[in-house]
Structure 1
Amino acid sequence: MKEQLRIGCHLSSSAGYLAMGEEAVSIGADTFAFFTRNPRGGKAKELNHKDIEDFLAFAKKHRIAKLVAHAPYTLNPCAAKDTLRTFARETMADDLKRLETTPGNFYNFHPGSHVGQGVQTGIELCAALLNFVLKPSQHTTVLIETMSGKGTEIGRTFQEIAAILERVELQDHVGVCLDTCHIWDGGYDIVAHLDDVIAEFDDIIGLDRLKAIHLNDSMNPRSSHKDRHARIGEGVIGLDALTAVINHPVLCRLPFILETPNDNDGYAKEISLLRKRWNPQD
């Protein structure tokens, strides 16, 4: 089968794995993301092992690429309150245990906000959480997402991401998910200087750490630190720049996840548009 762009979007997990797989295929996707539980927090639904078994067979038949599960937004690894850090530890540990039923995929999370404790404290607390939840036997790779830098977020620079990673004990269990809107809003010029941004990422973090990309346009000018996603080609990053991202020789084989403000019809159009523009020069 001819190689193609690996691309998908966020889907609702409420109907189960098989339904998500069928929905992804129906809109032309061959990967997808989903929240492990309500994105605002709460208890995860009971696992349906028959549904998971059916999905794994479906995924193999339809060549669905690695999935990118997403932690709830309320998870803050570097919160100031002990209770909130405990919630983050318990939630992530439970999510990783559940994801062992679909082994070999990714689990993406926001590194959190230090809420006035300082960046260094935030980095230390985030790394401590990872060292608590990661297990040598697990089959899920945990991805730290690049952030836009709003408020007291950590992970707004490649240096901050690298500082977290270097403190993790189980190095082969962690990686990075790069969000195009976030790094643009964070100050990285992927429109005029994509090669330079990728080279900087490689120098500071290492391209071997980059496992997935959230492909989003942005409503904001560069360095705004606001994090407001736009549909592909309708924001200030623009279609040409995002086309360059998917075709870049060191990025083009990664799974791309759309987090644009769309319904499924909109996602199907974006996926079709980007597939037509996928022509990596490597």
Structure 2
Amino acid sequence: MLHIGCHLSSAKGYETMGKTALSIGANTFQFFTRNPRGSKAKAIDEPDIARFLKLAGENGFGTLLAHAPYTLNPCSADPKVTRFAAQVLQEDLALMEHLPGHLYNFHPGSHVGQGVEQGIELVAAQLNDVLTPEQKTTVLLETMSGKGSEIGRTFEELAAVMERVDLNDKLGVCLDTCHVYSAGYDIVTQLDAVLEQFDAVLGLERLRAIHLNDSMTPFSSFKDRHETIGKGSLGEQAFINIINHPVLRELPFFLETPRDNAGHGEEIAWLKEHYRG
């Protein structure tokens, strides 16, 4: 079964997100645990979560993906920013334990001139501070496009973070199609080779979710400009290949394209049409 969803607003709660997902043909979704540009976490609403879990069970929902706010930068040179990142990670992972067995994704951050190695050390230190042996949530590092001083442009950088984390069995990777293509991984004409490289560096068992995004910019541009599926430099056939690839087809897919819910519904319908179930 194709588990496909998009990013939904969590403002009205989990049950509402679940019903919205169903209304556009989705059977999973991504959500922010808090305002993507802010700092205050949403209060935990146990009855709402219970209603959602019942709805999800009745409708065969796949794994959910929570997303950290964009303001999170665990490898900043500013101690105030890294303290905020630690607070957010701790609060968000506590929240996710009320949705056990799902995924939490974050951008590794930008080293802002400190250098890649220092950035990697700082991200790993943050993870060592917040991960616990008993947690049920898998934390995902997202593949990044490489703009500015981002950590995570290469598979090797993500592997270097994981190697420094004691509880790295709690870690995985979310592969963003726009980001990896912009970062210089040719998933359009060399998908098998890219996945073989991922396996050699990280291990395919680490790959737990896919962000499906076309790209406004060309291959190896190091830009982060998402485009509607089939309307960018990756093209329609690349996405047909991705969702049907034997290594990827059972993973949850999440659209982050620049469309509203109705538009995402159109993309979901198109992807389902081209999924060889």
TM-score interval, smaller chain = over 0.9
Partners of 2:74 and 2:107 in 1: CA distance: 8
| Residue 179 in structure 1 maps to residue 213 in structure 2 | no
- Aligned counterpart, 2:12: 15
Match among 101, 108, 112 for residue 109 of structure 2: 112
Distance 1:148 1:60 in 2: 35
Give me the whole-angstrom Cα distance separating, in 2, the residues matched to 1:150 and 1:93: 27
Does 2:97 align with 1:100? yes
- Distance in 2 (alpha carbons) for counterparts of 1:158 and 1:190: 14
Matched, 1:134 2:137: no
In structure 2, what is the equivalent of residue 192 of structure 1?
189
SS in 1 for 2:7: strand
Alpha-carbon distance in structure 1 between the residues aligned to 2:149 and 2:138: 26
Q: Indicate the residue corresponding to 1:225 in structure 2.
A: 222
* Distance apart, 1:45 and its partner CA: 2.0
1:98 maps to a residue whose letter is L
2-side partners of 1:42 and 1:237: how far apart?
34
1:26 aligns with 2:51: no
Distance in 2 between residues matched to 1:214 and 1:54, nearest whole Å: 27
Aligned partner (choices 28, 36, 40) of residue 39 of structure 1: 36
Partner of residue 244, structure 1: 241
- Separation in 2, partners of 1:55, 1:18: 4
1:44 & 1:102 partners in 2: Cα distance? 15
Give 1:131's aligned amino acid: N
Q: CA deviation at 1:279?
A: 1.3
| Separation in structure 2 between the aligned mates of residue 277 and residue 59 of structure 1, nearest angstrom | 24
Distance in 2 (CA, whole Å) between partners of 1:46 and 1:159 is 37
Task: Tell me the equivalent position of 1:67.
Answer: 64
Aligned twin of 1:88: 85
The CA distance in 2 between the partners of 1:173 and 1:66, in whole Å, is 16
Is 1:234 aligned to residue 221 of structure 2?
Answer: no
> Among residues 244, 256, 266, which one is paired with 1:269 in the alignment?
266
The DSSP-based 3-state class of the residue aligned with 1:213 is: strand
Structure 1 CA distance for aligned equivalents of residues 8 and 68 of structure 2: 14
Query: Cα deviations across residues 99-156 of structure 1 (Å, max 9, x unaligned)?
Result: 1111100000000000000000000000001110101111100000000000000100
State the aligned residue count. 277
Within 2, Cα distance between the matches of 1:208 and 1:98? 25
Identity %: 60
Cα shift at 1:168:
1.0
Task: Read off the aligned partner of 1:93 and give its amino acid letter.
Answer: Q
5+ residue gaps, structure 2, are none
Q: Give the secondary-structure state (helix, strand or coil) at the position aligned to 1:13.
A: coil
Corresponding residue to 2:162 among 162, 165, 178: 165
CA distance in 2, matches of 1:241, 1:53: 38
In structure 1, what is the equivalent of residue 201 of structure 2?
204
The amino acid of 1:219's aligned partner reads M
Residue identity matched to 2:52: F
Give 1:41 shift: 2.2
Rounded Cα–Cα distance in structure 2 between residues aligned with 1:41 and 1:161: 26
1:46-57 correspondence runs (5 A): 46-57=43-54
Report the TM-score, using the length of structure 2 for normalisation.
0.99
